[in-house]
Structures are given as structure tokens and as C-alpha cells.
Amino acid sequence: MAELRLPHRSPGARKAMDVFIRFFSVTSATIGIFFLCWILWVVLKRGHSVLSLSFFTSAPPSPGEGTGGIYYALVGTLKMTGLACLMGVPLGLLTGVHLAEFGRHSWFAAAVRFCVNLLMGIPSILVGLFAYTVIVLSVPKHYSGYAGAFALAIIMLPTVARTTEDMLLLVPDTLRESTLALGIPRWRMITGILFRAARKGLLTGVLLSISRVSGETAPLLFTALNNNYYPKNLGRPTANLTVTIYNYAMSPYENWQRVAWGASLVIMAFLLGITVLLRTLLRERSHR
């Protein structure tokens, strides 16, 4: 085999290149942090003034007059996200289990893995159009919270599936072999041993999927739409935070705009909380 020869550079040239790369990296990171802090500051500055207990427990305000809150939108968002978790998380877990434990190197697993990766990169607006075609158009002009939850579940599924596969593959094969050698059924080994060993990683995947859908607006515009009433029935257009922010921020009414900033701060705080929790879980897992 031919010997691989690296191009020769003088010590001065290597040092200059190292300084340039360091400067470029630090500058890029500083620019990103600057804009992040700017966004956080603007949202905090404009949204903190409306935060109070009544903001979370009050009905939305009338256009142009009075004060109100995000109670209806918050309840609708929680209902749709909870239903999306019930649909997307179990299916994602089962998909990840098949890819890690049963398929692995089969052609079918490779095809599923390719589809999951492709689904992770599809814009959420296309998922909303798909849910609109499949569910909303089946009952003409009938938007619903169920359609919104269906769209969110599709977005959650690939994140949970890939994280589940990766976390299960980190469990040593010796643990599987010793468990099976004791005569324990494979399904019991997966649910009782592997899931317990990878529980923090699996929880990380679920939290990542929830974080992924918590700020989605486009899918809900095509499915759940929005309204200003309490979401008793998800079979009708359902109030939600992201579409409420979009509608109120684009409106000419100052009181609606204040509510939009407050709701934006709530979502931002929720995402920051999930990020901190994920960092904590990952740090504990790396120290084990």
C-alpha cells in the first residue's frame, strides 16, 4: 500500500491556521449566543408584565378591550399534546425496539430506518397538509383537535423511534445473553431489563419529542385551527397556544398583542425547562 503523506506545513503556518480556526469558532459561537440572548431578552421584556395567576386561569380577552389570559389555549394545547403522546410515543418505542432488537441488519429494518430518518427531516407544514387531507377533508370543513393531535404524533414518532434504537444499542449484548441464558422470555428481557437499563435515555427521547412539537404552528393551522372557547370536545376546532400567538400577534389590538407576548414567554420557559432537564439526565447518564 502506498504511504499516506500529509502536506508539509511550517510551524508558523500551522500556528496561524490554528489561531484562525479558533477565532472563527469563537466568533460564530458568540454571534449565535448574542442572537439567542437578544431573543430571550425581547420576549422576557415584553411578556413578563402580563404574567400572573389570572393570566393562566382567565378566558381570552375581547378584541381591543379588557384583559384576559391563555387558559383555554393552554388546556387545548395540553389535551392535544397528551393525546399525541398516547399515539406517537408507544408506536415510536415499538419501532425503536424492532430496529434495535429484532431487525437490526435486515432489509426491512434498513427500510424502516431510512423512512424514520426521512420523516425527521420533513417540514412540519407537510405533515399538517397530510393530516388535513387524511382527517379534516374526510369530514368537509371539519377541523378538530384530534386532527391536530394526529399531526403532532407523526412529528413525535421518528424522534422517539431513533432515540429508543440508539439507547437500546448502548446496552451491552452480554446483558441480553445472560438474561436469555436464565430462560427469561425475550419480551420480558426487553421490558424488564433493557428498558430499565436505558430508562433515562428513553425518557430523553420522549422529552425531545414533546419539545419538538411544543412550538409547532403550521400543522395546527391545517388541523386544529383555533377558537376562543373552552376545548370541551376535541372533535371541534380547538384553542391552542401557538395558533393563538400567531393570531394575536398579527392583530391590530394592543391587548391581544400583550397576550401573545405572554404566551410566547410561557412556551419559551417551557422549552428552557425541558432543555435543563435533558441536560441533567444526560449528565447523570454519562457519569454512570
Residue 78 domain-assigned? yes
Distance CA 287, CA 274 (A): 20
What's the burial of 285, exposed, middle or buried (CB within 10 Å: 0-12/13-18/19+)? middle
| Mean pLDDT, residues 133-139 taken together | 86
Place of cell 402580563: 50
The answer to whether residue 264 is domain-embedded is: no
Q: Is residue 11 part of a domain?
A: no
The model's confidence at residue 64, banded by pLDDT at 50, 70 and 90, is: confident
> Average pLDDT, stretch 136-150?
86
C-alpha 132/C-alpha 220 separation (Å) is 9
pLDDT at 1: 44
pLDDT value, residue 106: 86
With respect to residue 3, please indicate whether it lies within any of the assigned structural domains: no
Residue 36 lies in a domain: no
Phi and psi torsions of 65, nearest 5°: -150, 150
Around Cβ 182, how many Cβ atoms within 10 Å?
Answer: 7
46: in domain: no
> What is the C-alpha separation between 205 and 163, in angstroms, rounded?
5
pLDDT(36) > 50: yes
Give pLDDT, residue 5: 59
Note whether residue 52 is domain-resident: no
Q: Quick one: CA dihedral 275, 281, 286, 287, positive or negative?
A: positive
Number of domains composing the chain? 1
User: What integer pLDDT is reported at residue 96 of this predicted model?
Assistant: 92
- 28 in any annotated domain: no
Q: What is the largest CA-CA distance in the chain?
A: 80
* This prediction's pTM: 0.86
Interatomic CA distance for residues 96 and 92, integer angstroms: 6
Q: What mean pLDDT is predicted for residues 84-107? A: 90
Predicted pLDDT of residue 214: 87
**Domain containing 153 — which CATH number?**
1.10.3720.10
pLDDT at 171: 87
Instruction: State which residues form the domain around 94.
Output: 74-255
